[in-house]
Structures are given as structure tokens and as C-alpha cells.
Amino acid sequence: PLEKILVETDSPVRYKNSSGDFYLAQPKDVLRTIRALAAIKKLTPEKIIEQTTVNAKLFFNL
């Protein structure tokens, strides 16, 4: 359920892609995860951001 999901990134970290090149991950890359979740859940990215923000605040007692 969406109410149990948090999104995060391990950046900054370097990853090797399929062509052997290195990619430096950045915090903004979390948007890829958000877009993928939105497609899977058939929701807007804004809804995913809204709910995962609520989830994070609850998880961290903020």
C-alpha cells in the first residue's frame, strides 16, 4: 500500500551503467522512482510525493 512506502536516494554515489560509463547519482534522481511508482499505482507523481511526504513525517515523528 502507498501508505507504507518511503522514497530515498543513496546519492551522491557513482554507478556503472550498462554501457560501462559511470553515472553520478544526485538527489533529484528520486524523481525517477516517484514517476515509476506513479505509473505502477496509476496515480499522479504529485499524489506520490504528497503521500510519501506524509509517510516520512510519520516515520520520523516530525
Query: Which sequence spans correspond to the domains of the chain?
Result: 2-56
The yes-or-no verdict on residue 11 having pLDDT over 90 is no
pLDDT of residue 18: 87
Which of 35, 34, 11 minimizes the C-alpha distance to 23? 11
Residue 37: band (very low, low, confident or very high) from pLDDT cuts 50, 70, 90: very high
pTM over 0.85: no
pLDDT of residue 9: 86
Q: Report the distance separating Cα 5 and Cα 53, nearest Å.
A: 10
Mean pLDDT of 42-54: 98
